[in-house]
Amino acid sequence: DGGITQSPKYLFRKEGQNVTLSCEQNLNHDAMYWYRQDPGQGLRLIYYSQIVNDFQKGDIAEGYSVSREKKESFPLTVTSAQKNPTAFYLCGVGGIPYNEQFFGPGTRLTVL
Amino acid sequence: RKEVEQDPGPFNVPEGATVAFNCTYSNSASQSFFWYRQDCRKEPKLLMSVYSSGNEDGRFTAQLNRASQYISLLIRDSKLSDSATYLCVVKEAAGYSTLTFGKGTMLLVSP
């Protein structure tokens, strides 16, 4: 089975807690991305990584952190500093020569 | 600020109808263009890339007008299964550039 996996599918967090969302891919793509989507909104870029051990902030990085220790993995931590973390989180992958990005099934995070 | 604008809809059409979606983008230097389809509470899936000369994939036709910074998607002979939100997506530059997403246009196809 190949592709992009995200876990968990649903995640509930209490206020003040940090949580980590997993994204794994076996497509051998170099670039990986994290987006959040709020109801009725487009995808907004949180962080992206073009190569192992390197990553850049996207448009809404505050309150989030990432790591890229392996090509296959790009976990996202939602910290307690993120004021409104309830959203649908999508992990994308893509790379040269492909322009397109492909997405995992997403994690739906709810803050209780 | 880079923006991609779409009519949010919903577009309500009967089965068999032809429907067209439009999208405008603000960055004239944008390199690549795509339409994605997103079903309710699911991830976006690539529907088709949009090429400068226009391109067709079965019942779907995409057009690009760089001078007007305008992209369109035409769906012919609509099926119930076409009901979804259609996202217009723009890639700003070559290489590992990020994507800018429109908010999407909702299509509802009824029997």
Please give, rounded to a whole number of angstroms, the shortest distance from the CA of B90 to a CA of chain A.
10
Q: Which residues contact B101 (CB under 8 A, 6 or more apart)?
A: A35, A42, A43, A44, B4, B36, B87, B88, B89
Residues of A in contact with B8 (CB under 8 A): 40
Residues B90 and B99: beta-carbon distance below 8 Å: yes
Helix H or strand E segment including A108: strand A107-111
The encoded tokens of residue B29 equal 């230097």
Average pLDDT, chain A: 92
Residues of B in Cβ contact (< 8 Å) with A99: 31-32, 34, 49, 91
Residue partners of A17: CB distance under 8 A and separation at least 6:
A80
Render pLDDT for A41-74 as a digit per residue (tens, 0 to 9): 889 999 999 899 999 999 999 999 999 999 999 9
CB-CB: which of A41, A45, A102 is closest to B46? A102
B45-61 pLDDT tens trace: 999 999 888 899 999 99
pLDDT tens, N- to C-terminus, chain B (111 residues): 679 999 989 999 999 999 999 999 999 888 889 999 999 999 999 999 998 888 999 999 999 999 999 999 999 999 999 999 999 999 887 666 788 999 999 999 999
